[in-house]
Amino acid sequence: MSGAPSLETQYQKYKEQGFMPIYLIAEDSEYNATTTEDADTWASTHGLTFPVLADSGWSIGNRFELDNYIPSYTLIGPGMEVVEVDGDISDADIEALLD
């Protein structure tokens, strides 16, 4: 399961158990750096209620090894342990960390 709408579904399902997706947007469709307003508008357009942040200049995204795969989904578990990089994050993956 991937993509912003799927993450919203997972967020609604698991938020009471501590699951928190954070979506980073570094560029718009014309490859311009995003602003906080751009991120807020994008989140609103897609009906997202979890944090969507502007990552202008890839300052946060560049900290992860993405293997040139955009979008990239990274699942971070308790203790900031990176559990999954560039993979499909399933309900089973989330549930395993929340137990």
Assigned CATH for 4-98: 3.40.30.10
Residue ranges per structural domain of the chain: 4-98
| Global pTM value | 0.78
Backbone angles phi, psi at 61, to 5 degrees: -60, -30
pLDDT of residue 1: 46
- Gap between the Cα atoms of 19 and 58, Å rounded: 24
What does the block give as tokens for 42?
A: 């994008």
C-alpha closest to that of 70 among 26, 40, 10: 26
pLDDT of residue 22: 87
Q: Count the residues in the chain.
A: 99
pLDDT of residue 49: 95
Residue pLDDT tens, the chain, 99 long: 458 888 899 999 999 998 988 888 888 878 888 899 999 999 999 999 999 989 887 777 776 655 554 666 778 888 878 888 777 888 999 999 997
